[in-house]
Amino acid sequence: MNLMKLYNEEEIGAILKKATEKSDGDKAASTVGLTIDELRQLGADAGIDPDRITGAVAELGAGSDSLERTFLGGPFSFSKSIVLDGEITAGQWEDMLASIRACFKAKGDVSVRESTFEWSSPWDSANSGQVTATRERGKTKVNVGWHGPMTAFLFYLPVIPVTIASVFVASDIPALTELTGLSLVLLLSAGTFAAGRWALRRHLDKLFTKFRGLMAGFEGVTAGNSATAEAASHQAETVHDKTDSRGPLLNAEEGEGQGDGGQVARTRARE
């Protein structure tokens, strides 16, 4: 009797990782990957509850979307890619353009190459944005990028006048010692900075949420068009069935009868 070794979950993960590294080492990163359904099926075949696969994917997705805050409240850039099932058409790109321009609030510059559609923000914009859609091997990779280092300027601008004003206020109060006056200046300046940082973080969170919403809309582009085509096909079949059930619009025998009757009437009129 041959006994087969059973591998636990940790060993399965290590084996799959090693096999992927060896088999796909010479392939482009964009061509390697599995869908959530394929991952769930793979887990089920390996004895892992598919719901655990879905939960792990959700946790990884939430972690990848988390923002690493900088001292000034950043990050001040955004870059995210998705892969659509199917190669988009020029008409679908036009539909995407309407959403892109509404999101960035700019008409922007558009370029179309053999397999790539691209939208970019105007050259005189303080912040730069770019959206590219590249068609390859039956898929479309869409990337949304934004870079806005000047965004923080308006939020921290009040710190300067508040600091200057607090210096004059502290110097005009005789009861304040030099140390107390300095503490007052630092307190007001730090408070203004903290308020600006809080407002900036809220602004960036809303901005990045808007970008993610834009990409979520892209994910329904090919699926939406497939549904539209299916609905149109179904409607055409329905119209065809109704036409068949009513029979021909003109009965040949009735037409011939009417023709004979007309000929008799004309003969009697001549008589």
The answer on pLDDT for 11 being more than 50 is: yes
Whether residue 265 lies inside any domain: the answer is no
Whether residue 238 lies inside any domain: the answer is no
- Residue 25 pLDDT: 53
- Residue 184 pLDDT: 87
The answer on pLDDT for 237 being more than 60 is: no
- Residue 201 pLDDT: 92
In this predicted model, which residue has the larger pLDDT, 52 or 133?
A: 133
Whether residue 60 lies inside any domain: the answer is yes
- For 172, the token pair is 């005009």
- Residue 4 pLDDT: 57
Is residue 83 classed as helix, strand or coil in its secondary structure? strand
Distance of CA 154 to the CA centre of its chain: 28
- Residue 102 pLDDT: 92
When pLDDT is cut at 50, 70 and 90, the band that residue 219 belongs to is confident
**Structural domains of the chain, count:** 1
The boundaries of the domain holding residue 37 are 11-16+27-65
Whether residue 189 lies inside any domain: the answer is no
Strand partners for 56: none
When pLDDT is cut at 50, 70 and 90, the band that residue 168 belongs to is confident
Is residue 10 classed as helix, strand or coil in its secondary structure? helix
- Residue 20 · residue 12 · CB < 8 Å: no
Is residue 89 classed as helix, strand or coil in its secondary structure? coil
- Residue 211 pLDDT: 92
Average pLDDT of every residue of the chain: 74
Strand partners for 111: 118
Whether residue 155 lies inside any domain: the answer is no
Overall size of the chain counted in residues = 271
Per-residue pLDDT, averaged over 74-89, amounts to 90
Whether residue 111 lies inside any domain: the answer is no
When pLDDT is cut at 50, 70 and 90, the band that residue 269 belongs to is very low
In this predicted model, which residue has the larger pLDDT, 164 or 127?
A: 164
Per-residue pLDDT, averaged over 4-26, amounts to 66
Whether residue 147 lies inside any domain: the answer is no
pTM of structure: 0.56
Whether residue 84 lies inside any domain: the answer is no
